[in-house]
Amino acid sequence: MVVLSKIYTRTGDTGETALGDGSRVPKYDLRVASYGTVDEVNATVGLARLQGGELDAPLARISNDLFDLGADLCTPDDDAARTLRLRIIAAQVDRLEREIDAMNERLTPLRSFVLPGGSALAAHLHLCRTVCRRAERLVVELAAAETVNPEAIRYLNRLSDWFFVAGRIANDDGVLDVLWVPGLTR
């Protein structure tokens, strides 16, 4: 259980922060940027949830998953930390895939790229998607330098796809999709 009795600690006043294993790193460390961007994804999910509707329950679960992902990323992978570490698991990725497949069955195939917009929820979900893609790029970069749970990368990759398909669902099952028209404004 987490108990936060005091919000400010002053331990970050020198530009460093603690990782999950207690080690201290600069706040610009790639690991911190990775889980910080996952936190940004979660904030965009909170915005999307303001719209309510049929996607609220899966978005609530995703929000919790994103905290799990942040916990996974904030602890370097060493033998001591491995047993204590909360990790994203394949079942979480598999669940996203099943949900994507179920949503996609309701949609007609795309004939063009989809622009962000249509409904307010779809616009928020496209914001979720793009911030999620940025988080994925950072985690992939981190994985090139340090050991990262491969399921964390898979989860982010699938999650951005989930946001895209959910955005189409939010656009009246694709009816309100705003489609790209190449060269329209030339």
pLDDT-derived band at 186 (thresholds 50, 70, 90) equals very high
* pLDDT value at residue 1: 63
Max CA-CA distance within the chain? 59
The radius of gyration of the chain's CA atoms, rounded to the nearest angstrom, is 18
pLDDT in tens, 103-138: 999 999 998 999 999 999 999 999 999 999 999 999
> Is it the case that residue 83 has pLDDT exceeding 70?
no
pLDDT-derived band at 92 (thresholds 50, 70, 90) equals very high
Residue 1 CB-density burial (10 A; 0-12 exposed, 13-18 middle, 19+ buried): exposed
Query: How far is residue 162 from each of residues 4, 22, 28, 122, measured CA to CA in Å?
Result: 32, 34, 29, 12
* pLDDT value at residue 5: 79
- What residue ranges do the domains of the chain occupy? 23-177
* pLDDT value at residue 71: 94
> Is it the case that residue 70 has pLDDT exceeding 90?
yes
The domain defined by 23-177 folds into: Hypothetical Protein Ta1238; Chain: A; (1.20.1200)
